[in-house]
Amino acid sequence: MYGKGLRALSFSTVVAVTGALTLVFFYAPLDEEQGFLQKIFYVHVPLAIIALCGFVLGALLAIAHLRTRDPRWDMRSYVVIHMSLIFALATLITGSIWAKGSWGHWWVWSEPTLVSFLIVFLLYATYQPLRFAIEDPERQARTASVFAITAGAFVPMNFIAVRLASAYLHPRVLGNTSNLPGPMALTFVVSLVAMGLLFATLCKYELTAKHTRSQLRALRRRLGALPDTPSPRRSAAPGQGVAGQRSIGARVAGGGAAP
């Protein structure tokens, strides 16, 4: 169910990313103020936007989970948040590189987007420790969903607050996204689309892998074999601890009915 469409999605991602990179390096004009360094903008800002959308999407998926109690929504929420966290880390790294190049320091407090991202990153970095500190899978999923909703609501609030605080101190350092000349705007939009597709592909990839693993586990339980190496990492995949337990007698009596 998850793997369907993965091929088409990854193919469009390849096309979009290649197109975006081509536009960035061969089509977009050089910025007057920042010169070649400004090209980082085309990877840093889409990363930021997609990460933020991902966090909000994670919150929406968590709402769906709490309403329907379907553990699949929880798995989707988990994967999306996990991926957004990675994208947020990439945002911080690329933003830091940009700051070093244009301001001379690896970190600047005067860039509100970067500061907001640091706070959001610190918040979502607690998501996995929170999950893995709860044993019962259903309670784990529910608590994680509550956290995802709270944190998702926090993200826009945080951005507003930090932007207010920074505007008070310094003007923006790394440039803004409005008033882009035509070719730059086109390049930016294509980069954004490419980043979004990359996010979607990676998430789908992850969901398929998790789903397959949980199905294998259920199959293993049904065939009566215990895994010889219990997985050290607790995963959020549904199918854990769900009634897949049949009595050993039934399994032997039924034999391994060939599928």
Question: Rule CB under 8 A: which of 51-70 touch another protein?
Answer: 66
* 82-111 residues near another protein, rule: CB under 8 A: 86, 89-90, 93-94, 97-98, 100-103
Binding of another protein at residue 245 (CB under 8 A)?
A: no
Out of 7, 178, 182, 250, the residue judged to bind another protein by CB under 8 A: 178
Instruction: Give how far the C-alpha of residue 247 lies from the chain's centroid of Cα atoms, to the nearest Å.
Output: 40
Binding of another protein at residue 176 (CB under 8 A)?
A: yes
Are the C-beta atoms of 117 and 92 separated by less than 8 Å? yes
Closer residue to another protein (CB): 57 or 198: 198
User: What mask, x for binding another protein by CB under 8 A, covers residues 132 to 161?
Assistant: -xxx---x--xx-xxx-xxx-xx--xx-xx
Out of 15, 126, 181, 241, the residue judged to bind another protein by CB under 8 A: 126
Out of 3, 29, 35, 241, the residue judged to bind another protein by CB under 8 A: 35
For the chain, give the DSSP string.
--STTHHHHHHHHHHHHHHHHHIIIIISPPBTTTBGGGGGHHHHHHHHHHHHHHHHHHHHHHHHHHHH--HHHHHHHHHHHHHHHHHHHHHHHHHHHHHHHHHSSS--TT-HHHHHHHHHHHHHTTHHHHHHT--SHHHHHHHHHHHHHHHHHHHHHHHHHHHHHHHHH---SS--SSS--HHHHHHHHHHHHHHHHHHHHHHHHHHHHHHHHHHHHHHHHHHTPPPSS--SS----TTSSSS----HHHHHHH-----
Smallest gap from residue 47 Cβ to another protein (A) = 7
Out of 23, 45, 81, 120, the residue judged to bind another protein by CB under 8 A: 120
Out of 45, 75, 162, 237, the residue judged to bind another protein by CB under 8 A: 162
Out of 6, 53, 64, 173, the residue judged to bind another protein by CB under 8 A: 173
Binding of another protein at residue 259 (CB under 8 A)?
A: yes
Closer residue to another protein (CB): 57 or 120: 120
* 1-30 residues near another protein, rule: CB under 8 A: none
Total residues contacting another protein (rule CB under 8 A)? Answer: 81
Are the C-beta atoms of 121 and 88 separated by less than 8 Å? yes
Out of 114, 123, 197, 207, the residue judged to bind another protein by CB under 8 A: 123
CB environment 69-90: b (16+ within 10 A), e (fewer): eebbbbbbbbbbbbbbbebbbb
Out of 47, 75, 80, 114, the residue judged to bind another protein by CB under 8 A: 47
* 213-242 residues near another protein, rule: CB under 8 A: 213, 216, 219-220, 223-225, 227
